[in-house]
Amino acid sequence: MRQPPINTIADDAIKAWKISAIIYISILWIIIVAGLVISIIFNFPLWYTVIGSLISGLLHYLFVYLLPKVRWKRWRYEVFEQEIYIQHGIIIVSRTLVPMIRVQHVDTKQGPILKKYQLASVTISTAATTHEIPALLEEDAASLRDRISALARVNEDDV
């Protein structure tokens, strides 16, 4: 069996993923608070909001504190001359080999949260799908993009 890839993504990916999770979970908390206010105004039973609060608290713990660290530990990648090896997943581990000959183009992208931590993601497009290596340092993402592009160009000449 093939060994797991050796390269990890940036440590600050955990912080970026936590901020993203907080934004999404905040929407859920706003809905819970609105439900509480409506329950109080119209004299509805409060147990709906208590159950909603418990579920929101559990989701908050999972998505803000637990999953970003586990997700970071699982994300690995490695670039060879003939292929790109990507491994990720927590419960279901996905190991993907992207042949260089199939690479159509390579991009880097950066949203506001990744930009705050000077991170960028590399997307690798093939005819069938797009693969992403998330949250690399900007310099590492740029050099990885250029390296994959150069390797894919060499393979195109071989065909």
User: What CATH number does the domain containing 145 carry?
Assistant: 2.30.29
Cα–Cα distance measured from residue 30 to residue 120, given in angstroms and rounded to the nearest whole number: 30
C-alpha to C-alpha distance for 30 and 159, rounded to whole angstroms: 56
Q: Are residues 45 and 83 in the same domain?
A: no
Q: Among residues 55, 72, 89, which one ends one of the domains?
A: 72
Give me the amino acid identity at 121. Answer: S
- In this structure, what token pair is assigned to residue 45? 């039973």
Asked if residue 61 and residue 80 are part of one domain, the reply reads no
Distance in angstroms between the alpha carbons of the first and the last residue of the chain = 29
* Shared-domain flag, residues 81 and 67: no
117 and 51, same structural domain?
A: no
What's the mean pLDDT in 39-57? 92
The reply to whether 97 falls in a domain is: yes
106 and 145 in contact (C-beta within 8 Å)? yes
96 and 126 co-located in one domain:
yes
Point out which residues pair with 137 in neighbouring strands.
119
Q: For residue 135, which of 109, 100, 97, 106 has the smallest C-alpha distance?
A: 109
159: confidence class by pLDDT, cuts 50, 70, 90? low
Residue 61 shares a structural domain with residue 108: no
**What mean pLDDT do residues 59-71 have?**
95
42 SS3 class = coil
pLDDT at 1: 82
For the stretch 102-114, what's the b/e string if a residue is b when 16 or more beta carbons lie within 10 angstroms of its beta carbon?
bbeebebebeebb
| Domain-located, residue 127 | yes
Distance CA 112, CA 22 (A): 15
Q: Are residues 81 and 154 in the same domain?
A: yes
Considering the domain architecture, whether residues 65 and 29 belong to the same structural domain is answered as yes
**How many distinct structural domains can be found in the chain?**
2
What are the tokens at 58?
A: 């559990």
55 and 84 housed in the same domain: no
Contact between residue 126 and residue 132 where contact means Cβ atoms under 8 Å apart: no
Structural domain contains residue 2:
no
What pLDDT score was predicted for residue 2?
84
Q: 43 with 89, same domain?
A: no
The residue segments making up the domain with residue 27 are 9-72
Band of pLDDT at residue 157, cut at 50, 70 and 90:
low
Among 72, 91, 109, where does a domain finish? Answer: 72
Q: What is the pLDDT of residues 72-128, one digit of tens each?
A: 999 999 999 999 999 999 999 999 999 999 999 999 999 999 999 999 999 999 998
- Are residues 77 and 135 in contact, defined by beta-carbon separation less than 8 angstroms? no
Mean pLDDT estimate for the chain:
93
> 145 and 98: one domain?
yes
Q: What is the pLDDT of residue 48?
A: 87
pLDDT tier at 153, thresholds 50, 70, 90: confident
Please list, in sequence order, all residues whose beta carbon lies within 8 angstroms of the beta carbon of residue 118, skipping any fewer than 6 positions away.
12, 137, 138
